[in-house]
Structure 1
Amino acid sequence: MPVYPLTSVRREHVMAVLTAIAGRTCRVVSEQPLGHEWAPVTRLVLDRDLPGVGSSVVVKTCRVDGDGHGGPAFLRRETAGLRTATASGVSARLVHADDAVGVVIQTDLGDWPSLQDRLLTNDPEAATAGMVELATAVGRLHASTLGRWDDHQRTLDAFGADVDTGLLYNFDAGRWDAIERACTELGLPAARSARDDVVQLLKRVNDPGATAALAHMDLNPTNVLITDCGACLVDFEGCRFGHPGIDAAFLHYPFPHHSNPWGLLPEAVIESADVAYRSALALGGADLVLHDYDQMLADGAAITLIGRISRLPLVASSGQSRHDSWRRRGQIVQQIRTYTQLAERAEGYSGFIGWLGKLETAMIDRWSDAADPAPPLFPAFAS
């Protein structure tokens, strides 16, 4: 039983919409809960093909948990994201959205393995191909939406309501203030020395100008389906129009806020994914993004790293399980090392890089599990 089921009111609304599309009474043959409590999704198999839709649809429902996750703003972003992403061919298509009822109906991409499924097998070739397909899909998404801020914003403005709650990586100087306070309270190296670099970073990322594109922001391997036509992206609830480097950084860390399971990729796989992403940008005519690629990638990687570092109070807490303690601390250390390599190709990060080096050393000195045992490769590459 899904935590947020398709209620009778929502079901009646969905069926009325589908019946109108079909031009005659439409009935459900079978129903399949998809996703999990953070992503309540239902597949409805119908008794007939609907023009331009097919014989099944996927319905996403509005939900709110105790922390406010998944409220109306999430579905509104899903609606706008699917509309904007249509031209990319790497997402489902929006069929219908109703803000008052709290449903989004989209085309059904079908039953396909996720990238996570590929990474958990013992088939490194399939896992590598999956990463390359993800990178290609992200490049197509960015290239096809480059410069289309007005189109995307019109959809959001039409709601006349909150579309910002719960946005991923939506940082301002206040986030860095919190990190400075946390470092002081925890006795870690003072983050103040990195502040000037971070302020300039936030200006670039929050106003990407002509390089702005639709960024998914949550490219975890469970949100990537590997189809016979390439990778398709699902779950656009965290998307926004902005800096493409945040998405690109997911290919390099990999998956900066994914934790179940935590794993790394061989350098050769990451390089193959990066080449595929850049090739898709070039093929899509996204020369503006490619023009200063190293800076774009380093900026995006810095933002995702700041998101991880902001968890320092949790990382330092004593109530964690042994596994969570190792993973959370290790993720910060590993991402600092990866980011430092990316930042060496760009400019303007000396203060930030210097502070990160001190933070890494301090974390390892205080918490041995921050670096030992070393992070594992994903199972597909373990042997």
Structure 2
Amino acid sequence: MLLSAPELLKDETRSVVVRAQVRGGPVPAVILKHFRDEPVCGLDDWAGAEFLTQRGVESGPRFLAGDVAARLFVLEDLGRGPTLETLLRGEDARAAHGGLIATARLTGQLHARTLGTQSAYELVRQALPPRPERVRVENARFLLENEGRLLRWLAAVEAEAAPGLHEDLEVIARTLADPGPFLAFTHGDLAPSNVLFTPAGPRLLDFEYAGMRHALYDALMWLVTLPLPDELVSRADITYRITLSAHCEAAQVDSAWARARATLALARTVNLFQWLHPRVLEEDREWAPGLSERAALLHHLARCRALLAPAEGFPGLAPTLETLESRLRERWTVAPFTWPAFRQEDG
């Protein structure tokens, strides 16, 4: 197999990604990924693609080969096409709606087909230079070890934590570390730019943060992270839940579903306050293209509050975040973000 016509797709500190044409091979083109820095992310990316390929799950590009010493692996080239971000930033509301629903369905299929496959995944991942710790345990540890960063925000707005805050964080951390019936293979960084629409349907790219964790970790994209029309969020949630429920009995139980959504929404909202410094109180900066840090914080708090409404529990964390939201809204007036595809609808 000979490679020709290399095309540089990405050249960042962490990795270099190249597309190359194939002469005399089983596929017309391939993607070569060389991870220079953060080898754990590179190996997680490799393991995710190899694991899905072994199981015949067509959620992303097929894994073809790899060389650990060279920090290089080769994937099937899915070709060119729009990403979900392209659709959201376009002018076709119907295409953007359809793209998100298709993404929710694909994500549900990925999780449904990988429930209970932890041992199979670990065989693939640990055959490579092993991870120091499972990704879901890392997520749980980060939440607990950085509680002080949340308290720093409360102090900055002259608010106090409600009794039971720490205990609620421990409950959430335990769920992250042990998701029970919701344990599935997750993408881990389900952003609109990582969803590619191909002639065969949507496919996920870049599994650098992939691993076995709570399935709804990926669903946070539409539940919490992205500012989206409420009706579209509901449709995506229903589509994802129906798809996952075919293989997950817990997803069929309303109380369990409400609890799972609230738990993951709380974890992500707390994480955002742990990632961002209270200097945002004095200076707003861009968090994502077109969305400021202040807007992101307020959006997360509002979505978290909505998802907490049908769930029970969290007597310490829920009122703490409500107080924090109230104090921030007193300080900030932030215009809501609307994706270009939906601006005509809002108008």
Q: What TM-score do you get using the length of structure 2 for normalisation?
A: 0.88
For 1:85, the equivalent position in structure 2 comes to 52
Quote the offset at 1:48 in angstroms: 2.4
For 1:279, the equivalent position in structure 2 comes to 242
Match status 1:56 vs 2:29? yes
Quote the offset at 1:196 in angstroms: 1.6
Tell me if structure 2 keeps the 8 A contact 1:169–1:303.
no
Tell me if structure 1 keeps the 8 A contact 2:143–2:271.
no
SS in 2 for 1:100: coil
Quote the offset at 1:272 in angstroms: 1.6
SS in 2 for 1:88: coil
Quote the offset at 1:230 in angstroms: 2.2
Amino acid at match of 1:216: H
Deviations 1:289-341 (A, max 9, x none): 44322211221211211111113425536465589897111211111111111
SS in 2 for 1:49: coil
Q: 2:7 aligns with which of 21, 24, 32?
A: 32
For 1:73, the equivalent position in structure 2 comes to 40
Q: Structure 1 97/326 Cα, relative in aligned 2: closer, same or farther at 3 Å?
A: closer
Q: 1:374 aligns with which of 319, 335, 338?
A: 335
Quote the offset at 1:356 in angstroms: 0.7
Tell me if structure 2 keeps the 8 A contact 1:96–1:105.
yes
Q: 1:305 aligns with which of 269, 275, 288?
A: 269
For 2:159, the equivalent position in structure 1 comes to 189
Tell me if structure 1 keeps the 8 A contact 2:182–2:214.
yes
Amino acid at match of 1:177: G
Quote the offset at 1:365 in angstroms: 2.4
Q: Structure 1 315/354 Cα, relative in aligned 2: closer, same or farther at 3 Å?
A: same
Measure the CA separation in 2 of the matches of 1:130 and 1:360.
31
For 1:106, the equivalent position in structure 2 comes to 75
What pairs up with 1:211-360 in 2 under 5 angstroms? 211-255=182-226, 264-283=227-246, 285-291=247-253, 292-313=256-277, 315-316=279-280, 318=282, 321=285, 327-360=292-325
SS in 1 for 2:296: helix
Count of aligned pairs between the two proteins: 335
Quote the offset at 1:172 in angstroms: 4.0
Measure the CA separation in 2 of the matches of 1:46 and 1:326.
40
Q: Structure 1 297/315 Cα, relative in aligned 2: closer, same or farther at 3 Å?
A: farther
Tell me if structure 1 keeps the 8 A contact 2:183–2:213.
yes
For 1:45, the equivalent position in structure 2 comes to 21
Q: Structure 1 156/245 Cα, relative in aligned 2: closer, same or farther at 3 Å?
A: same
Deviations 1:331-369 (A, max 9, x none): 111111111111112221232111111101111223x2x
Amino acid at match of 1:33: L
Measure the CA separation in 2 of the matches of 1:141 and 1:376.
30
Q: Structure 1 89/287 Cα, relative in aligned 2: closer, same or farther at 3 Å?
A: farther
Tell me if structure 2 keeps the 8 A contact 1:214–1:242.
yes
Amino acid at match of 2:330: D
Measure the CA separation in 2 of the matches of 1:232 and 1:323.
25
Identity of aligned residues (%): 24
Return 5+ residue gaps in structure 2 as ranges. none
Deviations 1:187-226 (A, max 9, x none): 4423463222111111112111232001112111000011
Tell me if structure 2 keeps the 8 A contact 1:60–1:104.
yes
Tell me if structure 2 keeps the 8 A contact 1:188–1:359.
no
Measure the CA separation in 2 of the matches of 1:189 and 1:254.
25
Measure the CA separation in 2 of the matches of 1:34 and 1:174.
37
Measure the CA separation in 2 of the matches of 1:79 and 1:321.
33
Tell me if structure 2 keeps the 8 A contact 1:156–1:163.
no
Tell me if structure 2 keeps the 8 A contact 1:122–1:380.
yes
SS in 2 for 1:112: coil
Deviations 1:154-212 (A, max 9, x none): 2222234445599884534112233224533x244234632221111111121112320
Quote the offset at 1:60 in angstroms: 1.1
Q: What TM-score do you get using the length of structure 1 for normalisation?
A: 0.80
Task: Note the aligned Cα RMSD (angstroms).
Answer: 2.5
Q: Structure 1 226/374 Cα, relative in aligned 2: closer, same or farther at 3 Å?
A: same
Tell me if structure 1 keeps the 8 A contact 2:157–2:328.
no
Quote the offset at 1:271 in angstroms: 1.5
Measure the CA separation in 2 of the matches of 1:81 and 1:290.
27
Tell me if structure 2 keeps the 8 A contact 1:180–1:192.
no
SS in 2 for 1:27: strand
Measure the CA separation in 2 of the matches of 1:327 and 1:83.
36
SS in 1 for 2:8: strand
Measure the CA separation in 2 of the matches of 1:57 and 1:148.
28
